[in-house]
Amino acid sequence: MFYGWGAQLIFQQPIPLLAAANTEEGYDKAIVGALVITAAIIFVFSIILGEICTRFGLPSVLADLTTGVLLGSSVLGLLIFSQSGGEANGLLIKFLEFTTGTSSTVAQEAYKFQMEEYIDESANIGLLALLFTTGLESNLRDLIRVGSQAATVALTGVVLPFTLGTLVLIKIFGVATIPAVFAGAALTATSIGITAKVLKDIGRLQSDEGQIIIGAAILDDILGIVVLAVVLSLVKTGEVEIISIFYLIASAIAFVLVAVVLNRVFGSLFVSIIDRLSNPAALMLLALVFLNTFALSASAIGLEAILGAFAAGLVLGETKFQEKLEQLFRPFVYVYTTIFFVTIGAKVDLSVLNPAIPENRQGLIIAACLIAIAIFGKVVAGFAAISKEPINRLAIGFGMIPRGEVGLVFAGLGAASGVLSNSLDAAIIIMVIATTLVAPLLLRISFSENSALKTQESE
Amino acid sequence: MFYGWGAQLIFQQPIPLLAAANTEEGYDKAIVGALVITAAIIFVFSIILGEICTRFGLPSVLADLTTGVLLGSSVLGLLIFSQSGGEANGLLIKFLEFTTGTSSTVAQEAYKFQMEEYIDESANIGLLALLFTTGLESNLRDLIRVGSQAATVALTGVVLPFTLGTLVLIKIFGVATIPAVFAGAALTATSIGITAKVLKDIGRLQSDEGQIIIGAAILDDILGIVVLAVVLSLVKTGEVEIISIFYLIASAIAFVLVAVVLNRVFGSLFVSIIDRLSNPAALMLLALVFLNTFALSASAIGLEAILGAFAAGLVLGETKFQEKLEQLFRPFVYVYTTIFFVTIGAKVDLSVLNPAIPENRQGLIIAACLIAIAIFGKVVAGFAAISKEPINRLAIGFGMIPRGEVGLVFAGLGAASGVLSNSLDAAIIIMVIATTLVAPLLLRISFSENSALKTQESE
């Protein structure tokens, strides 16, 4: 979507770095070409791998992540970001030279420029669209219905992996506090989308266990995004002061609570405005105004804009326009969130996990530990469920395991903030992939009628 | 949609111009804030004015244009582009300082940066989305059915206003050749959307006249975009050589013809791929790959990427996925095309049309001439319709008058290329507004059963 006039307009500005390149004929055209080619490559690979994943019943987020790894510096070298290093694939540059008729130097510069300016920016739009739609899909009424049962599961599933992960990283592996906290935070996530899909597939979405899982996953999203907002603010200031942590936690919780409590006020304000309007574009535009207002408010009190995007989604998800809004934002999610996940994959330096190199072994051990903590923490959380009836607590725990796209948000933001080392970043991604792959399988087994686990649980 | 991480990542690059500002605390946050505020202002005004236009039966494109004029340097000063000059509204900067806690200098720089980088880039995405969906909505089968009848109308409606407009500007007003050609080209457009809506409202879409109007408008779009591609290439090279004009016209026509003729091949290739895929995101992503491939091909033979976007829309509009694609691209059109039209309005310097200043009078006379030629050319085109049955030729002519969004594409690109003077740019916009306002009225009158015009025509 990003070829065109923008490039030309940018170069009418007096940016010294670019002025030199600008005088070269064909630079504008090369940027347009690079954008068109890069976007087409991302989408083609995402379509092919997405199809393979869909056929095997795997979540499509894995397809996009794998697309990124394949296209990134580790394998094909078609998506190279300056922060992750490496050279762009020679064939790609040659193709760009051929199609736009420019020199190799111009083609290379144009390629770099569009990667930093347009592809990265699209990834960030994808992140916001993802958090807004996550909020939209998080049904607060469902949450309130199973609230008390789900609350202990969600709280245990956030506190246990976070504490365990952070402590193990600091005490055993000697990781510095802030990156350790960040990795710990990534362990708290639960991907509601992946679990809901598996539960639906096996017809257990409406079961007691299914409802507790979904309720806990929604609460988990809320807690996770609060944790993320707090951790990101810590990264920015670079200090871990008890007072500022308290302030951040309090303001993040207050922000979400105000959004949830004033939900009816905001929601009915939104509905009454839209009901009076006959312009078909108004719903989309007003939703964006809401999103912007919430993001600005979050930012004004020292939190992250993404927390505002999520809260706006939560509020609008309770109105009668929920379905329509999901439909309107879906194309943005298809396009921009694909780019977001692909860029996360592309920025992972897989070579740091090559076991043949001795220095890498610690990274691999860290990855294994994170996976173990990720699974253990959520399984224990399942047993924390409050219920008078006999329920399948193991299934609840398994249902909370997949980190999916929410875990990737942590990994992506951690890498972008520069706080995670390459090996810790790669270890988090491996943890996300492993939990996302293993959870649907475990969930199916634990729910299968004849399973020994199930029988044992129900008795 | 454009606050966030992008801004931060950009500043990790060594761009000297920005390095100074970067060191100032709060610059990143101020950019995020400026984007959020600017986008919210655009959408709120667009919603309010859009509602007013919808209530009065006026096309919403006028609302967005007026929003731009109101927000631009001419009135409120909330949307200021460096190319159009002027200072940003002091209150806006104060609000930005307040919400992000930065200094006035930082707030001002952040505001300028986001206007050039994000708002302008969004406008360009809007242009591509608009041309792609225009292609999608142009039904080639309809065109072929009324082709012979519509062809004379379309050709006359393109050739007559173009020639007359260009000649009058050069010979009478002494305008240079290239801007005169550009303004002439802007006179060729017909907005299919506006006319189709009016015809539908008065129940005449399926009448003979309605079908000829729609057929001619589609053909007019194709001819108009070919003319635009040729004119833009002329602007770039800055020369008007007969050989290069012939080459450009031939290649532009060939490009669209190849797309139309190979339409079945491309279309069934697209359909057979999508039919094999089960991933719900595949349709959107593959459509973008098609769009990108067409845009790159157009660019590779020296034409404009927008011609490729339009041709891709034409081809995919003939497949069974037309409706689904329109639905998927609609949110992009709502968001980005709104920004595109608003920025066109914001870039218009209305002060050049103030009749109190003597130097401005020529601009006003030019605007009046353009309006006269725009109406006259299309009315004559109506009488060029070939039909054995008695038809309402005046209604056909009136139906072709509104330039609407297509005329604005010309005005926007003309202003961006820097070839149009402020007064000529403003004159084109005035012409677009006038024709868009007057056409629905004339069309209703000419079709009204008891109208003298209609009786006269049918006899």
Domain of residue B219, CATH code: 1.20.1530.20
Distance, in angstroms, between A430 CA and closest chain B CA? Answer: 24
| Residue A305 and residue A396 in one domain | yes
Distance, in angstroms, between B182 CA and closest chain A CA? Answer: 17
In a domain, residue A126? The reply is no
Under a CB-based contact definition with an 8 Å cutoff, are residues A169 and A184 in contact? yes
In a domain, residue B130? The reply is no
Q: Would an 8 Å CB–CB cutoff place B95 in contact with chain A?
A: no
On the question of pLDDT at A342 being above 60, the answer is: yes
Looking at residue A25, its pLDDT comes to 55
Which residues have C-beta within 8 Å of that of residue A64, sequence separation ≥ 6? A46, A49, A50, A337, A338, A341, A342, A345
pLDDT digit string, tens, across residues A123-134? 878 888 888 888
Contact state of A288 with B335 under an 8 Å Cβ cutoff: yes
| Residue A144 and residue A45 in one domain | no
| Residue A143 and residue A246 in one domain | yes
Looking at residue B33, its pLDDT comes to 79
| Residue B425 and residue B288 in one domain | yes
**pLDDT averaged per 10 residues, chain B (length 459):** 31 30 59 83 92 83 87 84 74 81 82 80 82 81 74 90 93 88 88 76 78 82 79 72 75 79 82 87 91 82 77 88 92 90 83 77 89 93 82 88 82 80 86 86 75 43
On the question of pLDDT at A291 being above 70, the answer is: yes
Distance, in angstroms, between B271 CA and closest chain A CA? Answer: 14
Contact state of A55 with B100 under an 8 Å Cβ cutoff: no
CB atoms within 10 A of CB A16: 9
Domain boundary residue, one of A102, A121, A140: A121
On the question of pLDDT at A196 being above 90, the answer is: no
Q: How far is CA A151 from the centre of its chain?
A: 23
Looking at residue A113, its pLDDT comes to 80
In a domain, residue B389? The reply is yes
On the question of pLDDT at A402 being above 80, the answer is: yes
| Residue A26 and residue A145 in one domain | no
How many cross-chain Cβ pairs, A to B, lie less than 8 Å apart?
Answer: 241
Looking at residue A181, its pLDDT comes to 87
Indicate the residue of A40, A54, A278 with minimum beta-carbon distance to B51: A278
Which residues have C-beta within 8 Å of that of residue B256, sequence separation ≥ 6? B222, B225, B226, B307, B311, B314
More confident site: A268 or B138: A268
Question: A371: pLDDT confidence band, cut at 50, 70 and 90?
Answer: very high
Question: A45: pLDDT confidence band, cut at 50, 70 and 90?
Answer: very high
Percent share of chain A, pLDDT over 90: 14
Looking at residue A289, its pLDDT comes to 92
Q: Would an 8 Å CB–CB cutoff place A11 in contact with chain B?
A: no
Looking at residue A326, its pLDDT comes to 92
Q: Which of A264-273, A342-351, B235-244 has the lowest mean pLDDT?
A: B235-244
| Residue A106 and residue A158 in one domain | no
**Chain A contact set for B32 (CB, 8 A):** 299, 305
d(CA B232, CA B241): 14
Contact state of B292 with A36 under an 8 Å Cβ cutoff: yes
d(CA B1, CA A291): 8
In a domain, residue B80? The reply is yes
Looking at residue A256, its pLDDT comes to 77
**Chain B contact set for A324 (CB, 8 A):** none
Domain boundary residue, one of A92, A121, A150: A121
| Residue B260 and residue B315 in one domain | yes
Distance, in angstroms, between B5 CA and closest chain A CA? Answer: 6
| Residue A299 and residue A442 in one domain | yes
Q: Is the ipTM of this complex over 0.90?
A: no
| Residue B230 and residue B94 in one domain | no
Q: Which residues of A95-116 are buried (b: 16+ CB within 10 A; e: fewer)?
A: ebbebbbbeeebbbbbbbbbbb
**Chain A contact set for B335 (CB, 8 A):** 284-285, 288
Distance, in angstroms, between B102 CA and closest chain A CA? Answer: 11
**Chain A contact set for B288 (CB, 8 A):** 1, 39-40, 43, 335
Indicate the residue of B124, B281, B289 with minimum beta-carbon distance to A5: B124
On the question of pLDDT at A61 being above 90, the answer is: no
Which residues have C-beta within 8 Å of that of residue A256, sequence separation ≥ 6? A222, A225, A226, A307, A311, A314
Looking at residue A12, its pLDDT comes to 29
Under a CB-based contact definition with an 8 Å cutoff, are residues A74 and A349 in contact? yes
| Residue B191 and residue B113 in one domain | no
d(CA B360, CA B374): 21
pTM: 0.81
Q: Would an 8 Å CB–CB cutoff place A284 in contact with chain B?
A: yes
Range A297-308 average pLDDT: 76
Between residues 291 and 350 of chain B, which touch chain A (CB distance below 8 Å)?
291-293, 295-296, 299-300, 305-306, 327-332, 334-335, 338
Under a CB-based contact definition with an 8 Å cutoff, are residues A77 and A87 in contact? yes
Domain of residue A16 covers 5-121
Question: A240: pLDDT confidence band, cut at 50, 70 and 90?
Answer: low
Q: Would an 8 Å CB–CB cutoff place B55 in contact with chain A?
A: yes
On the question of pLDDT at A166 being above 70, the answer is: yes
Looking at residue B327, its pLDDT comes to 92
Residues in chain A: 459
End-to-end CA distance of chain A: 57
Domain boundary residue, one of A95, A121, A147: A121
B396: closest CA among B220, B222, B216, B146?
Answer: B216
CB atoms within 10 A of CB A200: 12
| Residue A369 and residue A408 in one domain | yes
Under a CB-based contact definition with an 8 Å cutoff, are residues A306 and A229 in contact? yes
More confident site: A36 or A24: A36
In a domain, residue B131? The reply is no
Overall domain count for chain B: 2
Q: Which of B124, B136, B301 to mutate to test the interface with A (most CBs of A within 10 A)?
A: B124
| Residue A151 and residue A92 in one domain | no
Looking at residue B325, its pLDDT comes to 94
In a domain, residue A168? The reply is yes
CB atoms within 10 A of CB B184: 25
In a domain, residue B219? The reply is yes
Under a CB-based contact definition with an 8 Å cutoff, are residues B222 and B459 in contact? no
In a domain, residue B335? The reply is yes
**Chain B contact set for A127 (CB, 8 A):** 4-5
CA of A149: how far to CAs of A111, A146, A215, A223, A388, in Å?
52, 6, 8, 16, 10
Contact state of A1 with B288 under an 8 Å Cβ cutoff: yes
Range A309-336 average pLDDT: 90
Looking at residue B84, its pLDDT comes to 67
On the question of pLDDT at A361 being above 50, the answer is: yes
Using alpha carbons only, how large is chain A's radius of gyration in Å? Answer: 23
